Structure 1
């Protein structure tokens, strides 16, 4: 079996990161040969080069659709590809064009990570219901649901949950790196988020929640950290300053989060849309209690009161109440951390994902 994974993304988003994780997990399988096709200026291409992975690149310029289409055709013919696994919408456009000139025995698979609404219009119904697409792999049931009005044949939809290296995260310890960097006192509690600074992640609600927590924290010393970068960074800093939080919220930019997560006392996620972010699993594995909005697939793993706490989207009042409950009640905090860790260890570790993807690929040959 020969698989060509195709992405048109230049940044390293969660979908491509997980695609590469699956690529590495299945390399040991002698009956599967995998390749990756990505833009020549992408972060993924640099990773593949450093790891000496089996990969190809194409030029993502003004002729990007044609370049990707011809690259797919050439690689499929040269390597006798059996499965064309597409990892984003733009790459799907090129693949559907390429398939008109390729062997009809090639199986087309699409992965979908985001739960952003798909407009119910003819071109989208044609594209996602195309008869050449055998399956659409979703990272949560919430992602499956966005196809309700787009795809009639729901049997083509399948959910395979993402996974992480649970042991790697669980073995990390707190070295107080943030406390040292920002000169925080040892008793300072940290409420953190890891997110791109975009509208989807709604850091404005994170800031609103921080303001309420600060006002109601009493004798507790609490600070807030946002790890990540994005186009809204300057606006968010201005918003935090306008809410008198200049000395309370730290925007760190991109960081190696695995070393910083153990320092969080609460992971606070305020997104308005999500497929099901890896950061939830990472917090679970790091034994950090999670408080989150009910965005997308998050309630599929964050069970309110058991593996974390949930609040309606943009509800900073409830979010702040849940965070304070964790900070002030160690029994609740320990219970949530323990339940969440058992969940991620059982259902979202790399061995589970390897078995799931291997079984899936074998089922379609």
Structure 2
């Protein structure tokens, strides 16, 4: 069986990162041969080149739809591709056009990570309900739900949860990198988030929650707040934090490698409006960091309120702040949540689980 993975994204987003993770996990399966097609100037292309992966590129210019369609047709014919696996909605357009020029036995599947609402319009119903799409792989049940009014045949939907290398995070220890960088006192507790600075992540609610935590802090510890990530809202968010009198308490680090910084968090506070199911939650679980989060998207599928973390309604700063302080004030509760969350991620969201799930899935696609 030969599989062509296709993306039209030039940045390295979560979907492409996980696609490449699956590609590496299945390389050892001799009965599956995988290929990648991506823009010539993409980050993924550079990674593939460095790793000697089997990949092709196309030029993403004003003729990008035509270029990608032609590339798909040429590769599928030359390599006798059985499965065209599309990893973003823009590439889906090219994939559907390309199938008109390929053998009927070529299957098309689509992966979807985000639970952003799909408008109930004719073109969307036609596109996502296209008979050539054999399966749509969703990252959570919440992502499946966005197709409720778009796809009549729900049997085409399947959820395969993402995964991480749990052991890689488990063995990381707290190096106090943030404490040293920002000159925090040793007893300072850190409440942190890892997110792109976009509307979807709603860092404004993180800031509002931080202000309430600071006001209501009756613990024996000072509390500081860290946001790791970058994005178009950075200047506005810094201004908003300053207006909330948090300029000495809340710090934006910019983009960082997070695996060494996560162990320093005392609570992971996620305030998103929409999510498929972010890998950062799995990473926090594996790092044994308790998570307090909004109920965005698929998050309630892994956070059981009071057992593997705490949940609050979107923008509910009152509940979010109370839960963070509750964890910091109650070591037994904190330990119980960390233990339960670690067991969940180890059992259900380690790479070996995802490897088996995708292997079984590909073998089931006719």
Which residue of the partner structure matches residue 80 of structure 2?
A: 80
Structure 2 matches for 1:13-24, cutoff 5 A?
Answer: 13-24=13-24
* Cα shift at 1:323: 0.2
Q: Does 1:118 pair with 2:118?
A: yes
**SS of match in other structure, 2:81:** coil
Aligned residues: 365
- Offset at residue 103 of structure 1 (A): 1.0
2:81 paired with 1:89:
no
Query: What TM-score do you get using the length of structure 2 for normalisation?
Result: 0.99
1:237 paired to 2:238: yes
CA deviation vs aligned residue, 1:53-112 (integer Å, no higher than 9, x gap): 000111111111111111101110111100000000000000001111111110000000
Aligned to 1:313: 314
The equivalent residue for 1:59 is 59
Secondary structure of 1:142's counterpart equals helix
Distance across 2 between alignment mates of 1:194 and 1:75: 38
Superposed counterparts of 1:343-358, under 5 Å:
343-358=344-359
Q: Distance in 2 between matches of 1:25 and 1:297?
A: 24
TM-score, structure 1 as length reference: 0.99
Aligned positions of 1:160-239 closer than 5 A: 160-218=160-218, 219-239=220-240
Measured after TM superposition, the shift of residue 269 of structure 1 is: 0.2
CA distance in structure 1 between the aligned counterparts of 2:210 and 2:321, rounded to whole angstroms: 7
Paired position in structure 2 for 1:296:
297
Q: Deviations over 1:211-257 (max 9, x none)?
A: 00001113420000000000000000000000000011110011010
Deviation at 1:159, TM superposition (A): 0.3
| Matching of residues 13-162 of structure 1 within 5 Å | 13-162=13-162
Give unmatched runs, 5+ long, in structure 1. none
Instruction: Tell me which residue corresponds to 2:361.
Output: 360
CA deviation profile, 1:157-207 (whole Å, cap 9, x unmatched): 000000000000000000000001111110000000000000000000000
Q: Does 2:26 align with 1:12?
A: no
Quote how far apart the aligned CAs of 1:320 are. Answer: 0.2
**Hey, what's the Cα distance between the residues in 2 that align with 1:43 and 1:191?**
31
1:276 corresponding residue in structure 2: 277
Q: Would you identify which runs of 4 or more consecutive aligned residues in structure 1 move more than 6 Å?
A: none
Find the residue that maps to 1:36 and give its secondary structure.
Answer: strand
